Amino acid sequence: MRLDDLMDPLPATVATALLDGEEEQWPARWQALVGVSVELQSLLLTDPGLELVLLTEQIVEQLADGVAASPAHSVELTELTHRVLQTHARACVLAPPDPIRLADWLLRLQLEHPEAPDVSLALYASVLDDEGLAYYRDLAVTRFERLPVIGFGQTGRYDRNRWALLRIMEELAEYTEDVDLQLLVLTRDLSSGWHYLQVATVLQDAGRSAEALEWVERGLRATGGRGAAPRLIDVAIDEYLRMGAPERAIALCHNAFLDHPSLEVYLKLRTLVVHTADWPPLRSALLQHLAADGSPHAVEVYRRVVEVELTRRSSADGELVLDWLEQLRTLQPDAFADYLDHIKLRHIADRQLLDDLTRRGL
């Protein structure tokens, strides 16, 4: 049959097949829908043209709406809708429509029909050309920028509109390989430290060090030293070392430890400084900071730091380790005996340490 004879019957067939009916009727209705898809593919060979483009668009919209209305058969219908959308892309290549109109339809399909399949811009690249793609981008960005930013600690509301726009922008950023688009997407959800880390990592990979470091600082302020904070610090260390500024990496770790002490940050700082003359006084200052804090968290970090230094100590550190243990006994008198038993058991083969502990009355 010619296309003119099918402009009304094919959409009518789809509409009838998608009507609610008895489940036992589904196989026949499904075959009718598959038949429409096959007919459209045949028309690519016999009647390519703008009318076929318009007809295929109508049927894609019908099927997309059918996915939402038929949850029991959503998987099959989603796959079929995707197949017909691919037919539409081929029809556009054979008879290119106006690029602005095509871009507008692709956006409306995804925004007004939430169950529509993902649009692959690569399939439409030659038809959209620069004009259509620029229009698609501008309209998508304008709508996406209206979405509220999800702040740290907030639970974002991902309704259908937000999901659709997110999907559109992610595909657009991937297709164009545009870092700024990718950042626009990522910075609309800053609900956790891991989102800040994603932003900083993308900037780092793009060679935009100053911006990456800015987002590290923002992430550290937001997280309060928890969650993704250690990984954020890793990004900053990598960037500062790459820039030939190890002193800035050391300062960042030092400040991070003073603000929110943790063994992870201590170990990063240790790695950066341990082979320099600055390490012994810096280490003492860090432990004194923990002792002066005196909070349960600070004392726990102190305990863990002492265990690390016991394992890695040099002969010059022998008396220092004993001093730290004595200070720990002052900080945590009730739990110190159990902690010391744990230390002795763990280092039972270290006769020098055990003798030194006895000498100090520990």
For 156-166, write each residue's pLDDT tens digit. Answer: 777 888 999 99
Maximal C-alpha separation, the chain: 103
Helix orientation angle between 9-18 and 50-69, rounded to the nearest 10 degrees: 10
- Whether pLDDT at 22 is above 80: no
pLDDT value of position 175: 95
User: At a CB cut-off of 8 Å and minimum separation 6, what does 123 contact?
Assistant: 86, 89
pLDDT value of position 322: 84
Average pLDDT in the 33-40 region?
94
The runs of H, that is alpha helices, within the chain are 9-18, 26-46, 50-69, 74-94, 99-112, 121-145, 160-176, 179-186, 193-205, 209-223, 229-242, 246-259, 263-273, 279-293, 296-312, 318-331, 333-346, 351-359
- Whether pLDDT at 3 is above 60: no
Asked if residue 53 lies in contact with residue 7, where contact means CB atoms within 8 angstroms, the answer is no
317-350 residue pLDDT tens: 668 888 888 888 888 888 888 888 888 888 888 7
| Alpha carbon separation from 106 to 89, 109, 163 (Å, rounded) | 11, 5, 16
- Whether pLDDT at 2 is above 70: no
Q: What is the mean pLDDT of the chain?
A: 90
220-255 residue pLDDT tens: 999 988 889 999 999 999 999 999 999 999 999 999
Average pLDDT in the 280-296 region?
92
Burial 227-243 (b: 16+ CB within 10 A, else e): bbbbbbbbbbbebbeee
Average pLDDT in the 131-152 region?
95
CA 128 vs. chain centroid, Å, equals 29
pLDDT value of position 328: 85
Asked if residue 202 lies in contact with residue 215, where contact means CB atoms within 8 angstroms, the answer is no
How large a percentage of the chain has pLDDT more than 90? Answer: 68
Asked if residue 203 lies in contact with residue 215, where contact means CB atoms within 8 angstroms, the answer is yes
Asked if residue 19 lies in contact with residue 48, where contact means CB atoms within 8 angstroms, the answer is no
Average pLDDT in the 126-145 region?
96
310-323 residue pLDDT tens: 888 766 666 888 88
- Whether pLDDT at 64 is above 90: yes
Asked if residue 235 lies in contact with residue 255, where contact means CB atoms within 8 angstroms, the answer is no
pLDDT value of position 315: 61
pLDDT value of position 115: 82
Asked if residue 297 lies in contact with residue 262, where contact means CB atoms within 8 angstroms, the answer is no
Backbone φ and ψ for 150, nearest 5 degrees, come out as -85, 110
Asked if residue 88 lies in contact with residue 127, where contact means CB atoms within 8 angstroms, the answer is no
Average pLDDT in the 51-67 region?
94
- Read off the pTM: 0.82
pLDDT value of position 311: 82
